[in-house]
Amino acid sequence: MPVKNRFAEMLPEITEWRRDIHEHPEILFETHRTAALVADKLKEFGCDEVVTGIGRTGVVGIIKGKTDKSGRTIGLRADMDALPIHEETGLDYASKTPGAMHACGHDGHTAMLLGAAKYLAETRNFDGTVAVIFQPAEEGGGGGREMVDDGMMDRWSIDEVYGMHNWPGVPTGSFAIRPGAFFAAADLFEINVTGRGGHAAKPHDTIDTTVVASHIVLALQTIASRNVDPVKQVVVSVTSFETGSHAHNVIPETVKMKGTVRTLDPEVQDLTEARMKEIVEGTAATFGAKAELVYKRNYPVMVNSEEQTEFATEVARDIAGDCDEAPLVMGGEDFAFMLNARPGAYILVGNGDTAMVHHPKYNFNDEAIPAGCSWLAEVVERRMPAA
């Protein structure tokens, strides 16, 4: 089964939706315009039910098949939110919102799922029910968790759930996937260091928090190099370092650091958190300072179910001719919350030779739309074949 002809015909229309969403990016849960656009489209398509406000600003559309002898419901999910990045693409449809852009392709994900929803509502060539899920706040806000906590899975008796992400550097319209752990757990941390401030010309009268915090940053890197089994993955990154003073001649009283930890194994996650606490407090004490670690477990590991991954792979092969094994990804993905609630699979679709995601010059490749839409629709039609 190659790319469906219907999606090739719909490409200009879906592209128009995508570019409109791109032009009006919204951050985290503030996806009010996008959610309204999605809800209006789903009603226009003739969905049997359209519900807004799930997970704050999420939208769910329900499409019933010609028959429902199976009694099954499949969920298809797309994320809607943008990133706090200033766009530098120079596109005619570039972001009109300063400091915000669709730098991860969620505009494309939303447009592809809208395209699949329109097709499925037109044809209804399946036995069961489809829930098309449009989620806010994937980029750090945990919108997937919010929608699950709102009872979405039980409310519509969703049996399985599937998602998709574009992937730059992979040929346009090709696919890649892997079973089991796929995207990493994404934890957050803050470190607050307190010493004794003073004049920069008299460091002996101070406890220099800049020096203390710098030693902590370096010591944290030994978790990966000396504490964790080398064949297992861990990333500890300090991404923000802010002193309590910005003067040239002041040794600051305090330093605040922020960062992230990425792991694929619960034991490694536990070890990393424990070692971080020991290193932070112990290093500070060595210099006579105090330091506190605030550690937050944010997104869990995203794990693809074996059976659903095998099925998703077969569908992708039939559309694109092949489906590669995807690499482990140390980035986080809050579709993990939905896969923790129900079995399912998450797949990558090639975005071609474009800038990487989270880059100010990134843009979703509209040529990937027919393949992505075809995969979403085929998952439904083949998983719940018409009776």
79, 87, 127, 138: the active-site residue:
138
Residues contacting 154, CB < 8 A, separation 6+: none
23, 30, 79, 81: the active-site residue:
81
H or E stretch at 52: strand 49-54
H or E stretch at 43: helix 32-45
Handedness of CA 229, 266, 309, 41 (dihedral sign): negative
H or E stretch at 324: strand 324-325
Active site residue 149: no
State how far the Cα of 334 lies from the Cα of 387, in Å rounded to an integer: 34
H or E stretch at 38: helix 32-45
Report the chain's terminal Cα–Cα distance, integer Å.
19
Exposure string for 245-280, b = 16+ CB within 10 A, e = fewer:
beeeeebbbbbebebbbbbbbeebbebbbebbeebb
Active site residue 68: no
Active centre residues (catalytic): 81, 138
